[in-house]
Amino acid sequence: MDPTVSMYISQGMHGIAYGMILFLIASGLNIIFGMMGILNMAHAAFFMLAGYFCYQIVGVTGSFWLGLIFAPLLTAGLGVLMERIFLRRASAAGHFGELILTMGIASVIVALIKKIWGTESLPLHVPEILQGMVNVAGVSYPVYRLFVIGLALVVLAFMMLLLYRTRLGKIVRAAVSDRDMVNALGININLIFMFVFGVGTWMAGLAGVAIAPILTVFPGLADQVGMDAFIVVVTGGFGSLAGAFIVSIVFGLLSSYGVQFVSQFAPVLMVVFMAIVLAFRPNGLFGVKDSK
């Protein structure tokens, strides 16, 4: 095949892999926002924390698979703790207060990470089976990125099933649209919140582990990828999973082709895209809920 065409295709696949990871983070953020009306600024910090957990687990046990399973679970546990200990008791401060609270938690997490693991970037090696390249239709492609895309798709399918095919999912969707009413119907909304928060941070954690071998683990990771995820949520529309999905993929492609063609100004592309979308649709592409 023509090398330029194959370059385009492989760049496109890179973009989709990154977009998938963005979607894993953004969808958790989005569901939490839909239910509680707060944007969890600590979400990106949890995402990064999972990368460090995985690094530590791999360092101790030598198995990436254990890290892939347990690092997100640990992160989710911390997320649930944060929701129980801090967020639930801060409602007196209002939405801004809660937003700023999550910001405070994020900066504590980042500071602790710097204290424990230092500031240099730590490499994370994937097992042999995921290394190397495969040939797909004449284009050689790193196995690990395919694995990331597959993983994200599996999680997505699982989430969709959970949200749209179970009773629990029904309750969660109902709580997104009117939490007081669900509470009045005798459903323990606090428990649902805790569960959703846990699942959201678990997905962020999974994304953190998935991206760690690609970008290595370093304290700026939360800023770099987290910012993109926030932009995805804002552009796609608060509370809209479909919007988050489409915008994630678009952003992934923008960033990978952007690096190719206008390398220095790749981050600018996303913000410009966001500005254009918001200029015409202030609530985001698919935003229905008024962002409070």
Partner 1 sequence: MMNKKINIILWLVLIVILAFIPKLFGIYYTNMVITFAIFSVYALSLNMLLGYTGLLSFGHAMFFGMGGYGTALALKHIDGIGVFPAIGIGAMAAIGLALILSPLVVRVSGTAFAMLHLAFGQLLYVLALKMYKITGGEDGIGNFPVPGLFTESLKTSPEHLYYLVIIILGVCTWLMWFFTKTPFGQIQVGIRDNAKRIDYLGYKVPQTKAVVYTLSALFAGVAGSLYGLFHNLVSADGSLGIGMSFAPIVSTMIGGVGSFFGPILGVAIFQGIDELILRYTESTELVMGVILIFVVMFLPKGVMGLINTLKLKWKSRSTGKAEMEKAS
Which parts of this chain interact with partner 1 (CB under 8 A)?
33, 38-39, 86, 89-90, 92-101, 103-108, 110-112, 114-115, 223, 227, 230-231, 233-234, 238, 264-265, 267-268, 271, 274-275, 278-279, 282-284, 291-292
Question: CA-to-CA distance for 160 and 166, rounded, in angstroms?
Answer: 10
The nearest distance, CB 11 to partner 1, in angstroms, is 21
The nearest distance, CB 43 to partner 1, in angstroms, is 12
Nearer to partner 1, 35 or 206 (CB): 35
Contact 73, 239 (CB under 8 A): no
Nearer to partner 1, 38 or 80 (CB): 38
The nearest distance, CB 220 to partner 1, in angstroms, is 11
Nearer to partner 1, 26 or 151 (CB): 26
The nearest distance, CB 14 to partner 1, in angstroms, is 21
Nearer to partner 1, 157 or 275 (CB): 275
Nearer to partner 1, 155 or 232 (CB): 232
Nearer to partner 1, 185 or 271 (CB): 271
Question: CA-to-CA distance for 40 and 79, rounded, in angstroms?
Answer: 10
The nearest distance, CB 241 to partner 1, in angstroms, is 17
Instruction: Give how far Cα 115 sits from Cα of 41, 112, 187, 190, 258, Å.
Output: 20, 5, 42, 33, 34
The nearest distance, CB 47 to partner 1, in angstroms, is 16
Q: How many CB atoms lie within 10 A of CB 171?
A: 19
Question: CA-to-CA distance for 288 and 239, rounded, in angstroms?
Answer: 8
Question: CA-to-CA distance for 259 and 241, rounded, in angstroms?
Answer: 27
- The closest alpha carbon to 226, from 102, 77, 42, belongs to 42
Identify the bridge partners of residue 140 per DSSP, sorted by sequence position.
135
Nearer to partner 1, 37 or 169 (CB): 37
Question: CA-to-CA distance for 122 and 98, rounded, in angstroms?
Answer: 32
The nearest distance, CB 162 to partner 1, in angstroms, is 25
- The closest alpha carbon to 131, from 144, 141, 116, 117, belongs to 144
